Structure 1
Amino acid sequence: MLKSRVITHLNTRPFNYANIRTLASATATAPSTNNKVVVDPVVSHGTQDSPFDYNGLFEKEVMAKRLDKSYRYFNNINRLAKEYPMAHRKQENDKVTVWCSNDYLALTRHPDIISKMKLSLDKYGSGSGGTRNIAGHNNSTLKLEAEIATLHKKDAALVFTSCFVANDAIISLFGKKLQDLVIFSDELNHASMIQGIKHSKAKKHIFKNNDLEELESYLQLYPKSTPKLICFESIYSMTGKVSNISKICDLADKYGAMTFLDEVHAVGLYGPHGAGVAEHLDFEKHLKLGISKDPERSSILDRVDMITGTLGKSFATVGGYVAASRNLVDWLRSYSPDFIFTTTLPPHVMEGSAETIRYQRHHLELRTIEQTNVEYLKQGMSDLGIPIIPNTSHVIPVLIGNAELAKKASDILMNKHRIYVQAINFPTVARGTERLRVTPTPGHSLKQCQDFLEALEDVFNTLQLPRIKDWALQGGFLGSENGYDKSMNLWTPEQRALTNDDLNKNVFDPIIDDIDISSGVA
């Protein structure tokens, strides 16, 4: 009897939900006549006027950029691997010297890295084949995430398609998952972090650049039990300013906050092994430890909860990542849609990145030569009275203070001196603070540094640009009136005197095991 009931149930037709929805909609909106439902005809809101002028909007918006001199011109620059730092423009015989690249260690041309990528291309092809969950998880991924975690002395790491995506994905996920989260963000944070904060929909407070008193005044507004996230960078790319990571960690401990540190412009350039400013601030400790973790877990690297970085600057390829605790990385891997639904980086890109991290780790001279070039240029500009924003990092922001003049300065350098330095304008920097952003590398010779100084002197003379003394007479401009003080450098003379022989032997070709959390743990 029971069996026949089941058979009868399975043979009935499914309930017609569509008819019910139609009837309910009609009943709710139409009058009833003689128990019959009268359905009004669909009302057309179409009119005979013209459609919206989309093209007119686009043209007007672009014209506004042209009028305020913030319109962006892209130069055709083709960097030559065998002639670094040379590049050619559209025609191959039209060569210039590049002075504004983020290829900070000049490793995009290194034969060992290129060879590793070519081998991977031949063996695995040009693409990953899918997302990590479906077909894009492979040995190259495991190797790279293990190298990143080892570099930053964290339990685990997760690779994204870019650090922009990583920053946006992580910060937004925190806002979606942590009820009542409050985010505290430095005013000079990168657009990717700003985007993540917007997408998080969390309450936020913006504090002045490196103003820890203001940061603390905001933190004091909330109970310690309220979830909090402090977002900041180690080096702010357009000013070169360096954050006080240790004191921010102190505030995080005091008020119960997590720390999110973007080391994009510092990895490869700071610390004995290129892990960034967080490593550099405990330089002697990490120099002695090599790749080993601090047994006391008391270093600044240990205190920072999350470190994001890029593979597209010092690490010579493309992509981004986060390094953090085991549980945090597993949480991101499990819940971030930006990670879950994005195709994995190609194997040859990840092989190149892993090789770059390994190579730069035990080549301290890359960092010390780069610092020599930075000091040479900063001192030379100071001697010429050319204004720069003072900082302790490798970034050299040459102040112009006018969008049109900044573009002209860039054009003269390119067309007269065969030197490429891009003008930086709004919205990358505030209006009235336009500049040339100069980034020396270990690939530049001292002669090229001197040639650049002479070319810059000519530009300032030709355009009659204000110099250090001129800004001082006007009451100062972003600190440029103070000139250059080499004692401010993050790299000390003693650190710059070190050689590869001073490194711990465990950084030379270490065997690094895969991290199980990269694949998921049953």
Structure 2
Amino acid sequence: MRTRQTLRAHCAQHLDTMRAEGRYRDFARLEKIADRFPLYRWHQPGGGAPREITVWSANDYLGMGCHPAVRQAAAGAIAAYGAGAGGTRNISGTSPEHTGLEAELAAWHSKPSALLFGSGYIANQAALLALLTALPGMIVFSDAMNHASMIDGMRRSGAGRRIWRHNDLAHLEELLQEADPAAPKVIALESVYSMEGDVAPLHAVCDLAERYDAITYLDEVHAVGLYGATGAGIAERDQASGRIDIIQGTLAKGVGVVGGYIAGEADLVDYVRSTAGGLIFTTSMPPATAAAIRASIRHIQQDSALRERLAERAAALKAALDRAGLPRLPSESHIVPIPVPGAGHCRRVARQLLERHGLYVTPINYPTVPRGTERLRLCATPFHTDAMIETLMAALRDVLPVARAA
């Protein structure tokens, strides 16, 4: 009884602290309107009729989760295969949809092999854990802004970890020079950083990897579907795919469905497949999900106009913010962060945008970003109109000064 009471008291106290600091997370109940994306229905606390709102923070960057071909593929596969996979990949959970998708992912990234996971988080955690424990004395060199899923896999591995300042190649080389030349090394980084909106210099990192005998592990989750001639990511856009040993991606953002994967040399991918607990002991994704993903990828590969529209809309959003005199962080990508320091302040701004103006924008607080660097994270999809952008500008001009005084 004492343990239970102590644990409950600790949890209650911790939650109270999070509320006081403005870091407590509650989830808005949002109902996507598939035929009218990016419009959603917001189910307000306390009941009442749902309110139609515009969402500015969806990770379905291209709206592919609503595309008719994707929806039809999922519905057809459910009719054929049922709703679930029925087991892990090793226990009846591997279908032609799974193996077909892996083959298409490998070809998309110009790699010999690919491997599916239930999510991008699990893909990073499980793959890095497996790779970093493959050889004794492994050292991983991690960009300071790497995602929590990558950090989780690194920590669990017990490998030596060296953190290099974000996109600071001089610091990365300094750390590589200090390391034992004989130690096996991995450089882990992202292509597009989701909280900053900036892009990694892939060729320069690969130059260092070759110079100091390190393999490269690249997280492309915020780039897959969006960049490159066929949408394979920044590595494709920059013609660096052949220099990257392992490419990791998600199927939940640009592709618009759910899941994650790695692509790389066959022996490395097969080693992860054979040793990663996050794959071995997890029920595989439903075949209908794999079918939906395949339909989405096939459409993305041939629809360059959709990617061009995304880039144009991101540029239009940035230009509108600049014309309005509203602050934004520098961004090389489709992600547009607006600094709103202070966790409580940032949450108030987001709440007032939703309640007053019917605009959903995600407040980003610690631990996702360091304290004092809180922000709103905007993403304009190909379906956000000029009128929607102007409505957002008016709303931001309204709530930012009011919220600061609240």
With the length of structure 2 as denominator, give the TM-score of the two structures: 0.96
CA apart distance, 1:81: 0.2
Separation in structure 1 between the aligned mates of residue 395 and residue 237 of structure 2, nearest angstrom: 33
SS of 1:177 mapped into structure 2: coil
Q: Does 1:110 align with 2:67?
A: yes
Which consecutive unaligned segments of at least 5 residues does structure 2 have? none
Matches within 5 A, 1:242-253: 242-253=199-210
Counterpart of 1:402 in structure 2 is 342
Say whether the 8 Å CA contact 2:112–2:264 is kept in structure 1: yes
CA apart distance, 1:362: 0.5
Counterpart of 1:297 in structure 2 is none
Matches within 5 A, 1:9-158: 53-90=6-43, 93-158=50-115
Equivalent pairs counted in the alignment come to 401
Separation in structure 1 between the aligned mates of residue 3 and residue 228 of structure 2, nearest angstrom: 62
CA apart distance, 1:78: 1.0
CA apart distance, 1:50: 8.2
Separation in structure 2 between the aligned mates of residue 71 and residue 446 of structure 1, nearest angstrom: 33
Counterpart of 2:268 in structure 1 is 328
CA apart distance, 1:222: 2.8
Counterpart of 1:468 in structure 2 is none
Counterpart of 2:387 in structure 1 is 447
Q: Which of 218, 225, 228 lines up with 1:261 in the alignment?
A: 218
Counterpart of 1:281 in structure 2 is 238
Separation in structure 2 between the aligned mates of residue 315 and residue 199 of structure 1, nearest angstrom: 29
Which consecutive unaligned segments of at least 5 residues does structure 1 have? 1-47, 283-299, 466-522
Structure exhibiting the larger radius of gyration computed from Cα positions: 1
CA apart distance, 1:329: 1.2
Counterpart of 2:244 in structure 1 is 304
CA apart distance, 1:464: 5.3
Give the aligned CA root-mean-square deviation in angstroms.
1.5
Greater than 4 Å deviation, 4+ residue runs: 48-52
Separation in structure 2 between the aligned mates of residue 387 and residue 346 of structure 1, nearest angstrom: 43
Say whether the 8 Å CA contact 1:377–1:453 is kept in structure 2: no
SS of 1:307 mapped into structure 2: strand
Counterpart of 2:174 in structure 1 is 217
Once the two structures are superposed, what CA deviation does each residue of 1:331-356 show, in whole Å capped at 9, x if it has no partner? 11122122112111000000001111
Counterpart of 1:6 in structure 2 is none
Counterpart of 1:205 in structure 2 is 162
SS of 2:229 mapped into structure 1: coil
Matches within 5 A, 1:413-452: 413-452=353-392
CA gap 1:249/1:57 in 2 versus in 1, 3 angstroms: same
Separation in structure 2 between the aligned mates of residue 107 and residue 318 of structure 1, nearest angstrom: 11
CA apart distance, 1:49: 7.8
CA apart distance, 1:64: 1.2
CA apart distance, 1:325: 0.9
Q: Does 1:367 align with 2:307?
A: yes
Separation in structure 1 between the aligned mates of residue 182 and residue 328 of structure 2, nearest angstrom: 43
Matches within 5 A, 1:177-216: 177-216=134-173
Instruction: Tell me which protein shows more strand as a share of its residues.
Output: 2
Once the two structures are superposed, what CA deviation does each residue of 1:392-430 show, in whole Å capped at 9, x if it has no partner? 111100111111211111111111111110211111111
Q: For residue 100 of structure 2, what is the amino acid of its counterpart?
A: K
Q: Does 1:241 align with 2:198?
A: yes
With the length of structure 1 as denominator, give the TM-score of the two structures: 0.75
Say whether the 8 Å CA contact 2:128–2:153 is kept in structure 1: yes
CA apart distance, 1:51: 6.6
CA gap 1:114/1:464 in 2 versus in 1, 3 angstroms: same
SS of 1:53 mapped into structure 2: helix
Q: Does 1:163 align with 2:120?
A: yes
Q: For residue 378 of structure 1, what is the amino acid of its counterpart?
A: K
User: Once the two structures are aligned, what percentage of the paired residues are identical?
Assistant: 38
